[in-house]
Chain A
Amino acid sequence: MKRRVVWQTFACFVFSIFYFSTPVMAQDVELVGLIKALQKQITDLQTTVQAQNAEIQELKAKGARIQVAPKGVEMTPITPMSEAEFKQRLGDATGGADKWLKDLKFKGDLRLRYEAFDNRSQSLSPNEADSRNRFRYRLRYGFEKKFSDQILAGFSLASGEAPYINGSSGGSSQAFNGDPTSTNTSFDSNFNFKPIYIEKAYATYTPNWVKIRLADGLGIDNLTITGGKMDNLFEKGSSEIMWDRDVKPEGFIQKIDVALIKAADFALKGFFTAGQFVLDEDKVATGASSDANLFAFQMGVNPVFYTPVMDRPIDLLSAVSYYDFGKYGQYNNWKIDGASGRSLARGNPRDPTNSASLAAGGFRIWETYNELAFYPMGIPVRPFFDYLTNTANGAGIFPVAGSNEDHSWAYGLKVGGIHKKGDWELGWQYRYVGANAQPGFNDSDFGYEAHSGVRGNVFKAGYGLTDYLTVNGAMYFVNNLNPGNTRGLTDTYGIEQRQNRFQVDLVWKF
């Protein structure tokens, strides 16, 4: 019996060796064949070179000249074109465009989306499911010109929707994109042509003289000063409970990056960002200016440290932000283009005693954001936690039982990351978005029309089909925090009890 077991075990082992080694041995045979073929090619090349060398020596000895023109024609020696001459000829051929094209980068993307809604409302009869299916596209395209190492400027255009053209009294007749948190355009309106908007128009100064090294691992890495309509740098230390990723603020941003510590297995960097933005200008109310502005500040640290258990380091980002939305909750400043314009207070209830103000009174928001990145078996895993509180109404930092409307929080996890063909990513997060915690610049997909006063889960997945094409899917399961209660909301959709939303996207980058 024992002998049989031994023989069986040995037979399995030998079979396995041959089974798994056969492809390796086959590869070795193939490799040897390839090497022999290469050796033959090298030998043939060497023979050719020797023959050509002999011919060259023979020609030199005879003093022969290679004639490309009939006798009697004077031959001009061919000299390589200088770079100056090449640049001159290129400039002449392109009409001077070569100077403008230098250091010019074009960038854009196209997204095609299918989206399905399933809304449930107690106020409608009976539990009506106001379902909707739609197809949408998003187009963004622009360029950036680097004038020098320190100065660049750029702009980009984006699609959008202008459902409201405000020609009513008190407003202008201009059409704005209906939503600063969305650049989507729906397939709609009988094939009619769709608008395009200016998404960004900005200039950036990055002075070199600021980059100083005080010691190894200590110094200023970078300072950027940007003006115009620009990317929102505050997204770095924030999540979508505060900022939708389509928002492009207008004003000025300054960001400084510093290196603090550098040791063998540990590095610490920090950053500070300040923003001065215009929300709504040239508003007059009761003899005083009621222009709405945003002053924003964000400070963060980024320690990176190696552990014995993983090849890649652990990367932590921890940031604190303060947003002062001056006069935003008053004088209808949250409406696009006047008192009759489209409201951005989607889910922010009105002050019951004053319809021109929001119940939040104002928005002075403290936010803390923390994200960890680690790489088990080389796969990125990123859990995060985000918490914010609006102190404008006198609310404390922490929520009080029964009164969470001034606070929002989110936590979740992202696994993977898409950078090239074959990459994938999965994500999940839970969000609680208090009705008075932040204005309507947060995620436009989280709840139908109600950016605030909602809570729910988001699931996402994506895959890189090629280096430039990704397919993404998302599911949102959102509940209204105050169902069946309009509470002075400006849109009736705010009373929806629950909304499930499904999206499938194809995104091309170019």
Chain B
Amino acid sequence: MKLSKLVVRGALIMGFAALVPMAFAAKNITVKGSDTMVVLGQKWAEVYMQKNPGVAIQVTGGGSGTGIAALINGTTDLANASRPIKESEVEKAQKAGYYPEEIKVAMDSLAVVTHSTNPIKELSMKQLMGIYMGRINNWNEVGGPDKPILRYCRESSSGTYVFFKEHVLKNQDYAADCQTMPGTSAVANAVSKDPSGIGYGGAAYYLNQPQIKILSIKKDDKSEGVNPVKADGTLDYEAAWTGRYPVARYLYMYAGFKPRGDVKAYVAWILSPEGQKIVEEIGYVPLEAK
């Protein structure tokens, strides 16, 4: 055989063989962002990897803003966010050559809670706003006992804090004497010991806690109060889906552009009944089946 033919054939074969290890290498998907969603994200990843051993998924927190910034930098495939992406972030992404694709993956009902001995059963959005802005400072102003209100809230870096500020306080500042707690479970712990306290957080954290009462919330003075939890102690998904419960939000995943390949398959699985079952297990509200 001529040497030249051997060299050409050898090069072709080596080139083909170079693809072999790539074909068998694990495909990586990176997910960064919301601390609210990190537990949910890790559970999704764990279950999906068990079913798809050829895929490796890394999930980290850091906050919704961190995840979106990583998307713009091209250092993550998916960004978890407990808030919608801002217009300024979309512009920045497009300048960098990314076109954020929004995917709603779950919902989260935020419960407002007091100690179980507090006779108050419901508050309107206006009253809730007044309490957390420091305009209402005694329970007797909202039909309760003559006791000062002790407010518990989350730290400012929390997406829950931001959501509550935007949707309940209409972007106005919290009262200066709000007690900052490092997590929803810390809020639950504080309120369970404080008959004058009020707090908020993901509804799932407050289920089956006898020292804590979850309040019903009225959209306005004329509306009926709606509780995020049903009488049987389970989350009321329908109230979140229909918007009857006013303090509910979507949880999002953002991709740099329309997902394709492995990322598309992973997102499709998250939105499937199997993926949404995990949402229920973690304690969030699954998307309404269509």
Contacts and interface: CB of A to CB of B under 8 A. Distances in A.
A435 B175 CA distance: 63
Interface string A191-229: 000000000000000000000000000000110000000
Contact of A83 (B17, B18, B72, B178): B178
Given A12-B9, A311-B257, A311-B260, A84 B73 contact: no
A118 to B, nearest CB: 35
Contacts of B98: 312
B97 A20 contact: no
**Contact-residue bracket for chain A:** 35 or more
A313 B99 contact: yes
Contacts of A241: none
A319 to B, nearest CB: 16
A222 to B, nearest CB: 6
A24 interface: yes
Interface string A295-326: 00000000010100001110100000000000
Contacts of B99: 304, 312-313, 315
A13 B17 contact: yes
B209 interface: no
Interface in A22-77: 23-24
Interface string A166-200: 00000000000000000000000000000000000
A12 B14 contact: yes
A493 interface: no
Nearest to B171: A149
A13 B13 CA distance: 6
Contact of A21 (B21, B97, B155, B256): B21
A17 B72 CA distance: 37
A260 to B, nearest CB: 16
Contacts of B14: 12, 15-16, 19-20
Contacts of B260: 311
Contacts of A306: 258
A386 B9 CA distance: 50
A485 interface: no
**Centre residue among B14, B17, B176, B258 by max chain A CB count within 10 A:** B17
B176 A84 contact: yes
A423 B37 CA distance: 31
A17 B20 contact: yes
A427 to B, nearest CB: 15
A87 B175 CA distance: 12
B20 A21 contact: yes
Nearest to A79: B179
A135 B258 CA distance: 46
A265 B260 CA distance: 13
Given A19-B14, A82-B180, A87-B176, A417 B96 contact: yes
B97 A373 contact: yes
A24 B26 CA distance: 11
A88 to B, nearest CB: 8
A22 B267 CA distance: 34
A455 to B, nearest CB: 30
B231 interface: no
B171 A12 contact: no
Contacts of A16: 13-14, 16-18, 20
A420 B70 CA distance: 12
A313 B257 contact: yes
A289 interface: no
Interface in A367-387: 373, 375, 378, 380
A5 interface: yes
A9 interface: yes
B177 interface: yes
Contacts of B171: 148-149
B257 A83 contact: no
A417 B13 contact: no
Given A304-B99, A306-B258, A313-B99, A82 B20 contact: no
A5 B6 CA distance: 9
Contact of B10 (A12, A315, A375): A12
A8 interface: yes
Given A83-B180, A312-B97, A8 B6 contact: yes
B66 to A, nearest CB: 15
B163 to A, nearest CB: 15
Nearest to A87: B176
B232 interface: no
Contacts of A132: none
Interchain residue pairs A-B with the least CB separation, the first 4: A16-B17, A83-B180, A84-B177, A84-B176
19 contacts: A1-B1, A5-B1, A8-B1, A8-B9, A16-B13, A16-B18, A17-B20, A20-B14, A82-B179, A82-B180, A83-B153, A84-B176, A87-B176, A148-B171, A221-B87, A312-B257, A313-B99, A313-B257, A419-B95
Interface of A: 1, 4-5, 8-9, 12-13, 15-17, 19-21, 23-24, 82-84, 86-87, 148-149, 221-222, 257, 265, 304, 306, 311-313, 315, 373, 375, 378, 380, 417, 419-420
Given A20-B17, A83-B155, A419-B96, 10 more contacts: A5-B1, A13-B13, A16-B20, A20-B21, A311-B257, A312-B97, A373-B97, A417-B96, A417-B97, A420-B74
